[in-house]
Chains A and B, each alone.
Chain A
Amino acid sequence: MNKHIQTLVKGSLAAAAAQGGCGACQASCQSACKTSCTVGNQVCAK
């Protein structure tokens, strides 16, 4: 248990990068956005 730093979310973006992407996810601008692209707030379709 850390005393000074608490991990809230542990990700593995770069570590998983070698696997590439399946491309099944939705297009960024096709949902509720249409004017300001945000890629990171979408959900992985896997």
Chain B
Amino acid sequence: MIWEKYPFKKNIHLFRHGGLNLVYDVNSGSLHSLDDKAGEWLAEIISFSEKHPQKAARPGVLLAATGRKLTETERSEIKREFERLEQEGALFSAEAELPPPYAENEQPLLKALCLHLAHDCNLACRYCFAGTGAFGGKRELMSLATGKKALDFALARSGGRATLEVDFFGGEPLLNRTVMRSLVAYGRAAAAATAAGKRINFSLTTNALGLDDELADWLDQEKIGLVLSIDGRPDVHDRMRPRPDGRGSYAAVLPAVLRTARRRAGASPYAVGAYYYARGTYTRYNPDFDRDVLHLADLGVERISAEPAVGGDLAPRLEDWPEISASYDRLGEAYLAYAAAGRPFNFFHFNSGLDAGPCLAKRLKGCGAGLEYAAVAPNGDIYPCHQFVGRTEWRLGNVSEEAAAPAAAIAREFAAAHINAKKTCRECWCRFICGGGCHAANLETTGDLRGVYDLGCLMQRKRFEVAAYIRAREALAATDESLTGAKFSSAQKTQES
């Protein structure tokens, strides 16, 4: 029994959601449902351990001081179940010895490239972090020659990796569709010609204004993943995503989104292969974004993502959190209700990764920006990720340079900004879910790559709680639900995020 000295707060997360008592074991990635008696006792154990760490460390004190409302039989039963799960490594599991994700002076292999085909756009979205497409610079399109050099750079820097991901991004990349098509042909041939016979998985992030049937046929044929920007309800979308002359774009975008949803029904919810996602951005104006997600689901869209705006006056603030949190809660219940009614949809952030998620090494590495992931601007400049493009102090190099390689000093900064290097993350139960969060958001809100974006943390925790709850409901639907609790004591609320 390791309870006496176990760091509960960082290694297990006990929470109540939708009438269930759930505990997530951080180091194993296991999820359990507890009845009220076990849930209350565990909550007391955690609470006592936090309030009285020295007393709790004395042999026998923690158990003796807690669970006093239970009968001896109940205590014995629950204790035995806790011990069995501990022995199985599924609860109170030990922390892994994790080396830094990147060795000193390691030259990480590139696995993904964000190719900015166009720093221009045919919309004038009010929340655009790219400043309506230009990223604070001049409006320009990437030339075919620069695009080829970018792909050559990516293939060369991907070493022994068999697969490389390339996303066409902007601005609006379809303003440069001829170059896009040529680059797909070039990239496939160049990848196949490598000694290792590599493969490139292409994807396209677009506002869908230029997504006509002929292009859709080609995208299907080439198995190119699609992320289509649409914010949900017509008024919400049009308010934020107008054309340059102020007219809304919803009416023009929606048909292309629905055609894609029909063409790609059954696409991978994990964004693998010829997938699609309808991706919305929510702002302070629609903290009830669950209604936007359901608007799309009601229209037959089955792969939906909704992300908060980043930076600026429209981005959600901490004071908006109660409404945003309630949105995620409602969306979780709707997700289950729609599935039960035979109209399932997928919400990207409710993919829990509990069953087939990535390994701990990946979770420790985080997003890989500046190391495994990079973005290339139309002029060939390389940045750690799409969010850094145009911020010249973070420029890593240019694809035209001989033996282009990420600027070592900047790459080291990103390599050092992992979860074990950040105290807040080290102590957080959600660390292996977010991997430290978005570097750009952390930098934007704290001025430090090793900082932590508070509101982003709240979102990550909430989204995982709802995702785990959905996973639990799905599992319990097929079994006996007698273990689910009806009540939850105030003590159990100590771990609520």
Contacts from A to B (Cβ < 8 Å): 2-21, 23-45
- Cα separation A26 to B356 with both chains bound (whole Å): 14
Cβ of B360 and Cβ of A17 under 8 Å apart? yes
- Cα separation A46 to B370 with both chains bound (whole Å): 24
Partner-contacting stretch, out of B93-101, B240-248, B332-340: B93-101
Q: Which of B193-241 contact A (CB under 8 A)?
A: 201, 203, 205, 225, 227
Cβ of A32 and Cβ of B227 under 8 Å apart? yes
Cβ of A30 and Cβ of B165 under 8 Å apart? yes
Residues of A within 8 A of B366 (CB): 28, 37, 39
Residues of B within 8 A of A9 (CB): 29-31, 354-355, 471, 475
- Cα separation A4 to B32 with both chains bound (whole Å): 10
Given contacts A12-B29, A29-B385, could you give 8 more A-B pairs where the C-beta distance is less than 8 Å?
Answer: A4-B78, A6-B479, A10-B30, A30-B373, A32-B277, A35-B308, A40-B433, A44-B359
A sample of 16 inter-chain contacts (CB < 8 A) reads A6-B479, A8-B471, A8-B476, A9-B355, A13-B363, A14-B28, A17-B97, A21-B358, A23-B372, A29-B114, A33-B305, A37-B434, A38-B460, A39-B367, A39-B433, A41-B357
Cβ of A27 and Cβ of B434 under 8 Å apart? no
B433 to chain A, nearest CB (A): 4
- Cα separation A3 to B368 with both chains bound (whole Å): 43
Residues of A within 8 A of B35 (CB): 3-5
Cβ of A4 and Cβ of B109 under 8 Å apart? no
Fill in one digit per residue for B164-192: 1 if any A CB lies within 8 Å of its CB, else 0.
Answer: 01010000000000000000000000000
- Cα separation A6 to B163 with both chains bound (whole Å): 39
Cβ of A20 and Cβ of B361 under 8 Å apart? yes
Residues of B within 8 A of A44 (CB): 356-359, 362
Residues of B within 8 A of A26 (CB): 111-112, 165, 201, 271-272
User: In the complex, which of the residues A2, A21, A34 has the most CB atoms of chain B within 10 Å of its own CB atom?
Assistant: A34
Contact A37 B349, CB 8 Å, known A7-B85, A43-B272: no
In the complex, which of the residues A5, A21, A24, A43 contacts B85, with contact meaning CB atoms closer than 8 Å?
A5
Q: Whose C-beta in chain B lies nearest to the C-beta of A35?
A: B307
Cβ of A35 and Cβ of B270 under 8 Å apart? no
Cβ of B432 and Cβ of A13 under 8 Å apart? yes
Residues of B within 8 A of A27 (CB): 111-112, 165, 367-368, 372-373
Cβ of B38 and Cβ of A5 under 8 Å apart? yes
Cβ of B369 and Cβ of A29 under 8 Å apart? yes
Residues of B within 8 A of A42 (CB): 270-271, 351, 353, 357-358, 362
